[in-house]
Amino acid sequence: MKIQTKAVHAGDRKRPQEQIPVSTPVHFAASWICADQAEQDRIFAHEQKGYAYSRYANPTNDALEELVAALENGHGALACSSGMMALQHALWCALAERPKRILCARDIYGATLKLLYDVMGPFGFQTELVDANDVAATEAALDRFQPGALLVETISNP
């Protein structure tokens, strides 16, 4: 075995420990070893429990989701890789059976506007902006636009 191969793999992928660590380990791996392609396919298809690619599931996120669900007395939780992904998930779920119209505060984080118009817009989501500090204008927009969701930030990040 070449020195480069040893440097990458020596001490790696040891047999599973029988002992349980005191603190929850953090896993940095992007992918996981499967016995064969068929096993990986079953994991991706949710036909078998396990990990194949960390973007979809990994023990670190699973532990965080379990913790948050317990703290919130919930039935489950979803950890997202970014705030924008969390917002996109929240809007998709909130509007699944509601009008795909979002009334959004004009004074909002710039990446949120990009998400609403460039990412969600092509999927049929409509966005209208309003001055959320103007209560009368917001009420009028709610009546006229009939949104499925109202999106505002308590502290703006324009």
Could you read off the pLDDT of 90-133 as tens digits, one per residue? Answer: 999 999 999 999 999 999 999 999 999 999 999 999 999 999 99
Alpha carbon 3 to its chain centroid, in Å, reads 39
Which phi and psi angles does 53 have, rounded to 5°?
A: -145, 125
Per-residue model confidence as pLDDT tens digits over 71-86: 999 999 999 988 999 9
Per the prediction, the chain carries an average pLDDT of: 92
Q: Examine the pLDDT at 66 and tell me if it is beyond 80.
A: yes
Residue 117's pLDDT is what? 98
- Pick the range with the lowest mean pLDDT from 66-70, 128-132, 153-157: 153-157
- Pick the range with the lowest mean pLDDT from 9-23, 35-49, 84-98: 9-23
DSSP 118: I
- Pick the range with the lowest mean pLDDT from 23-32, 113-122, 134-143: 23-32
**What is the rounded CA–CA span in Å between residue 47 and residue 51?**
12
Q: Examine the pLDDT at 3 and tell me if it is beyond 80.
A: yes
Q: What percent of the chain has pLDDT over 70?
A: 95
Beta carbons within 10 angstroms of residue 140's beta carbon: 12
**What is the rounded CA–CA span in Å between residue 93 and residue 90?**
5
User: What mean pLDDT do residues 62-74 have?
Assistant: 96
Residue 16's pLDDT is what? 67
Q: Examine the pLDDT at 37 and tell me if it is beyond 80.
A: yes
